[in-house]
Amino acid sequence: MQATSTVLPHLKHAEHSEAPGGFWRTYVFSTDHKVIGIQYGLTALCFLLLGFFLILTMRWQIAHPGEPVPVVGWFLEKVLGSPASKGVMSPDLYNMFGAMHGTIMVFLAIVPLAVGAFGNYLIPLMIGANDMAFPRLNMMSYQLYFLGGVVMLASFLIPGGAAQAGWTSYSPLATVIPTDGQTFWLIGMILLITSSLLGSVNIITTIVQLRAPGMTWMRLPFFVWAQLVASFLLLLAFPPLEAAGILQLMDKVAGTSFFLPTGLAVGGATANISGGGSPLLWQHLFWFLAHPEVYVLILPALGIVAEILSNNIRKPLWGYRTMVYAVLTLGFLSFLVWAHHMYLTGMGTRISTFFQTTTIIISIPSVILLTCLLISLWGGSIRINTPMLFALAFLPMFGIGGLTGLPLGFAASDIQLHDTYYVIGHFHYVVAPGTIFALFAGIYYWFPKLTGRRMNEFWGRVHFWCSLLFMNAVFMPMFAQGFAGMLRRMSDGGLSYSTRVAPGVEGTLSDFILGLNNYILWAAVGLGLAQIPFIVNLFRSIWRGEPVRDDNPWQSTTLEWQTPTPPPHGNFLRPPSVHRWAYAYGPRADGTDYLPQSVPESALSGQATRS
Amino acid sequence: MEIAYTVQPRPDTGVYNAKLGMWLFLASEVMLFGGLFSAYVFLRMGAPPDTWPHGWLSVPLGTLNTLLLAASAVTTLLAWAACKARRFDRFKLHLGLTLILGTIFLGIKGYEYRDKWLHYEVQLKDGRIADGHLVRARTTAETVVLHGRYVADRRELLDGRRKHGPHEELVIPRDQIVRMQNYAPRHNTFMAIYFALTGLHGLHVLGGLVVFAYLWGPGSRLWHVDPEHFTNRVEVAGLFWHFVDLVWIFLFPVLYLT
């Protein structure tokens, strides 16, 4: 046991101090931020798996258009009926799965995992609070999120199936598709938006109001800063999409024409609408949310990586203050770049110029953040373990994702790359081997705090190396496909535009480019298989993992490790006070290499004399 | 387990939790209505010439509603001040007045909605357009009866500010009708954004009134247990109400006066 550890080894403590109440009050309708965090986490992981399953079946259809989906084809037909007759994925079903893959991954998996689960569980612990500022509101956010998820899932089963217009739901397409899927999508989105709105109010209030004595702003762990900025983005960027959602719902249900232009023809006939609306308006309102949303996906991940990195290099983060200012700048600038998704809409070169400028400016704080993390490694005594491996891999993966975004930020190069697989490769590098790796790192890292046991290290490394390999095998070829001009959202994977169908025609997709589809399919299958060790490890370790002997198994400085394991309702045995910043790592006179935030200077001198 | 700063303000931030939470919520509300107002600007700027209507809404009614909400802002403030002064009877009086004013506002809004719902534009086979309010009592299976006027061109209907001919009872045989549509949201983008903006605002008014009714009625039991906590609740609900008033201050000129 470390000499500076202030914690008491009493793993069973939690059972005595758990709030009274039966199963329902403790696990389902709990107001404890930790239980809610775990609820968010488990639900979001299920949605992550579902989103992956959707794309896996789509990858089959892309590589083998018109062939029955193996293994699960009969199941799809049984559940979804005619769109999957004979187990073959129809173009309609492909569109549904495509739209829902994006929606589920962004709004039901990553954000709830990054902000809902990690934010909820860790923020009060890290700032030394006994719960969130509004516990009942917290419970309600989770319930609204769950309800939104149920509405989204239910939309698969209604006649006509789920939304088909992509996760971006561009009007007029989204409005004129005659099925009810889009209506369900909009209602689901309004629930999810309300949920994250309440969640972000709660997180910000908690960080501002409930910091322990001595926890000044510049002593906050970087993770908390990242969550604070992400919450502000959710708070301010989501409402315009809610407004847009209400307007599109009115277009769909009340027959208005907010996004429907005059003279719109559907299926060859002029639509019976008043017209006068603007399709561009939807795109503006949508991307005003959806670009800050990208930073909501990435900032908590950066926070997680910063914590794990600093813990495992055993030295302070390099440029903590710079990182804080960079993340604040990033948050502000993210509201000024949305229309770089819209260069090809004909909104005008002046507007394009403005957004190209802001887009290139925003890369500065992003590069600062990544560079600070990278330089932090210099001169560290690096410990390699599963969380650290994932955190380390995050740096180059997110780097690739970020740098491949530059050509998309310039209108001239975007003309070639817009809506191709290059874009898919770019943002998946940011979110999949970027954010999801950081989330994995976080799960492996904080698992001992939740359960008192470690996850298996060997299977953790198997999970890491296989995931890293297959992630790159899936997404790297997409850059080549995109350069060749292969468009996203094509249910035959580009076959109709290939030399196989139209030999000798200029500009068609070559056999090699098309053949990459099959290769990506098997890499995706491999990626799926690589998650099995993780899933088994996660659940097995809850009961059978190696028990930790200490409340602070990673020898960390931050407050969440100064609680009993797992933390009881109310978190801390004694109200903590904070005496220094979060990164007091490095060799010390008493032989340890870290100093927890909560250890007062007076206790320190006592120890110095003892050693 | 006690959450800190639920009643007392935190010394270094100067606010209690719920007050900060409400300010944050209002920031998001600004963005929500901001999105809708931008939609209004976008649609109006993009509207082709001679398509955007003026003066379709009753300025006297709008003015009356503005005054009602302004007065309710004052009574809300007085209710909170009464709490601060520990005068429970005055609180009941002023919050009761707020409830009444808000309810009258919604009543007038409802009357305006009904007026638009019964207002029809009827395209006739001879090219003329009949425009007026449906006389329900006299409308039958064969004829539609409107109280209004005939115009030759749809554009004549666009400017409601100008004086136009007298309204009379129009008896229209149903077989002469090409298209008949009331002034519902689907009528044109102005009506659409009018209903979207005022509808969402109306829901906010309703929400505020429900909270006030709770604080006036069953919620006021807290007064006898913890008057300071109760005063905070009145203050936070009041903040929301002032925001709702403020939105109307923008809605009134944007929709009624231009």
Find, among B58, B53, B60, the residue nearest to B121 by Cα.
Answer: B53
Confidence of residue A4 (pLDDT cuts 50, 70, 90): very low
Q: Say what the pLDDT of residue A590 is.
A: 87
Confidence of residue A606 (pLDDT cuts 50, 70, 90): low
Q: Say what the pLDDT of residue A348 is.
A: 87
On the question of pLDDT at A16 being above 50, the answer is: no
Please say whether the beta carbons of A482 and A405 come within 8 A. Answer: no
Which region, left, alpha or beta, applies to residue A346 given φ > 0 means left and ψ of -120 to 50 means alpha? left
Give A118-130 pLDDT, tens digit per residue.
999 999 999 999 9
Q: With an 8 Å Cβ cutoff, are A276 and B5 in contact?
A: no
Give B184-208 pLDDT, tens digit per residue.
999 999 999 999 999 999 999 999 9
Return d(Cα A299, Cα A201) in angstroms, integer.
17
- Of A130, A242, A569, which has the smallest distance from its Cβ to B3's Cβ? A130
**Upstream peptide bond of B166 is cis (omega within 30 degrees of 0):** no
Give B94-152 pLDDT, tens digit per residue.
999 999 999 999 999 999 999 999 999 999 999 999 999 999 888 888 999 999 999 99
Give B30-78 pLDDT, tens digit per residue.
999 999 999 999 999 999 888 899 999 999 999 999 999 999 999 999 9
Summary mean pLDDT of chain B = 95
Q: With an 8 Å Cβ cutoff, are A244 and B21 in contact?
A: no
Cα A204 → chain centroid: 19
Q: Where are the alpha helices (DSSP H) in B118-252?
A: 189-216, 221-225, 227-251
Confidence of residue B160 (pLDDT cuts 50, 70, 90): confident
Average pLDDT of span A483-491: 92
Sign for the CA dihedral angle at A55, A57, A60, A61 comes to: negative
Average pLDDT of span A505-513: 89
Q: With an 8 Å Cβ cutoff, are A19 and B1 in contact?
A: yes
Q: Where are the domains of chain B?
A: 19-116+187-257, 118-182
- Long-range contact list for A526-531, CB < 8 A, 24+ apart? A526/A466, A526/A469, A526/A470, A526/A473, A527/A466, A527/A467, A527/A470, A527/A471, A527/A473, A527/A474, A528/A52, A528/A56, A529/A466, A530/A462, A530/A463, A530/A466, A530/A467, A530/A470, A531/A49, A531/A52, A531/A463, A531/A467
| Two structure tokens written together for A369 | 């953040």
Average pLDDT of span A480-484: 95
Contacts of residue A511, defined as CB under 8 A and 6 or more positions apart, other chains included, come to A498, A499, A500
| Residue A281 at interface with chain B, using a CB cutoff of 8 Å | yes
Q: Say what the pLDDT of residue A507 is.
A: 82
Q: With an 8 Å Cβ cutoff, are B43 and A278 in contact?
A: yes
Summary mean pLDDT of chain A = 92
On the question of pLDDT at A228 being above 50, the answer is: yes
Q: With an 8 Å Cβ cutoff, are A242 and B46 in contact?
A: no
- Of A131, A205, A256, which has the smallest distance from its Cβ to B20's Cβ? A205
Average pLDDT of span B225-231: 96
DSSP B26-58: HHHHHHHHHHHHHHHHHHHHHSPTT-S-BS-S-
Q: What is the CATH number of domain B118-182?
A: 2.30.30
Residues of chain B with Cβ-Cβ distance to A205 below 8 Å are 17, 20-21, 24
On the question of pLDDT at A13 being above 60, the answer is: no
Q: Say what the pLDDT of residue B255 is.
A: 96
Q: With an 8 Å Cβ cutoff, are B20 and A246 in contact?
A: no
Cα B111 → chain centroid: 11
On the question of pLDDT at A167 being above 60, the answer is: yes
Q: Say what the pLDDT of residue A607 is.
A: 53
Three-state DSSP state, B99:
helix
Q: Say what the pLDDT of residue A608 is.
A: 47
Residues of chain B with Cβ-Cβ distance to A257 below 8 Å are 186, 188-189, 192
Q: Say what the pLDDT of residue A20 is.
A: 59
Q: Say what the pLDDT of residue A8 is.
A: 41
Find, among A351, A166, A172, the residue nearest to A278 by Cα.
Answer: A172
Contacts of residue B31, defined as CB under 8 A and 6 or more positions apart, other chains included, come to A235, A236, A237, A238, A239, A240
ipTM of the complex: 0.95
Average pLDDT of span A130-149: 96
Confidence of residue A605 (pLDDT cuts 50, 70, 90): low
Q: Which chain A residue is nearest to residue B15, measuring alpha carbons?
A: A209
Q: Say what the pLDDT of residue A506 is.
A: 83
To which residue do tokens 């082709």 refer?
Answer: B48
Name which CATH class applies to B19-116+187-257. mainly alpha
Range with the poorest average pLDDT among A266-270, A537-541, B18-22: A266-270
